[in-house]
Amino acid sequence: MATSSRREDSQRTKDRYGNSEGRTMLIDKQVNGSVRIHGENLDRKREKVECVVRQHPVRGSVPKAIEGEQVAAGWPAWLAAVAGEAIQGWIPRRADSFEKLDKIGQGTYSNVYRARDLDQKKVVALKKVRFDNLEPESVRFMAREIHILRRLDHPNVIKLEGLVTSRMSCSLYLVFEYMEHDLAGLASNPGLKFSEPQVKCYMQQLLCGLDHCHSRGVLHRDIKGSNLLLDNNGILKIADFGLASFYDPLQNQPFTSRVVTLWYRPPELLLGATYYGTAVDLWSTGCILAELYAGKPIMPGRTEVEQLHKIFKLCGSPSEDYWRKSKLPHATIFKPQRPYRRCVAETFKEFPAPALALMETLLSIDPSDRGSAASALKSEFFTTKPLPCGPSSLPKYPPSKEFDAKMRNEEARRC
């Protein structure tokens, strides 16, 4: 959806099946004039999810009395049954109080739109999460994201402003403050080169936001340029907590290793680690730092095997001691026959020395050597001249997002 003429018009209509309660459904008017009613087979889907939830209670559910109150407040029963704790204390916004303007992002299970909040008279971002079959597991993942976002409160972390749902719809909208750019979109502009004070400003904000997440017991697990949003005031905010998870450094809890976008994934995850912590986000942050200076991703692997090979070639292969103590699941498969020598400093010798020193730390093969976001903020990188500039003094750019760049590239290929 590139223009407002193609946006969906949401309105409500009375139940066509003679229901005396005047049940409502969400209708989408498409540009060709056809009308699709969301609500077909939804009763069966809701019965399915509620049945599964009753048989397999999940963490995050609330007592039945509270669940009933949430349904009475306007939340769909299927959502209250699975995500009761995440939505507790909130009132759903109405779909007709927003006007979609254009599509600004797309994921496997979600689309993001720029929209106008008609009640508050401002532009917002709407993230539409789809539940094609109302599977409890997918609803549970979304509930975790909401729960995490509600725990975080920092100028460098995106703020969840509300939720929009319909009793008859299989989707949920998350309402966020609107940000004009993302770092990947800006970096993709031909001829655009960031100044050193600008890079330091971005990195300082990223690490401040990350430090807040980690201090609140949250791992982001997908730090990359397209998830780092910027507004016209130069403020950077970490966004997209769809892969994020709660963690407790005092508890040894297993996680999945199938997280973090490939180019920013640390070696321990590629080797199958299931016990990890904040170091996974710090590796991704090191990749971002190098990318801002190099002007392109530094390890763009096409497969997991190729990605691991690129990491070993640049950062060196793990020591024998690391292989022995880590006991990683895929170690015997991917352990190189000969050790690789680390060559980060040689490869990026044109980078400023303080930036290179911070990069060396963040891109340590051993996660325990990467330090923390708080220690990175105290590095010489931020105290040596030129110092980080203030966000308000950053250059102004036209709206630029990775999604727009991808659309332009696809259009160019078709031509």
Q: Which residues are catalytic?
A: 222
Q: Are 188 and 401 in contact (CB under 8 A)?
A: no
- Burial-class residue 346 by CB neighbours within 10 Å (0-12, 13-18, 19+): exposed
Task: Give the 3-state secondary structure of residue 90.
Answer: coil
Strand-pairing partners, residue 157, are 238
Give the pair of three-digit tokens for residue 273.
């680690």
The single residue listed with the structure tokens 């409160």 is 153
DSSP H or E run through 188: none
| Integer Cα distance of 145 and 244 in angstroms | 7
| Integer Cα distance of 382 and 367 in angstroms | 22
| Integer Cα distance of 158 and 195 in angstroms | 25
Strand-pairing partners, residue 122, are 117
Task: Give the 3-state secondary structure of residue 182.
Answer: strand
Strand-pairing partners, residue 73, are none
First vs last C-alpha separation in the chain: 19
| Integer Cα distance of 213 and 154 in angstroms | 9
| Integer Cα distance of 107 and 220 in angstroms | 17
Residue 127, annotated as binding a ligand:
yes
DSSP H or E run through 232: none
Annotated binding site for ATP: 127
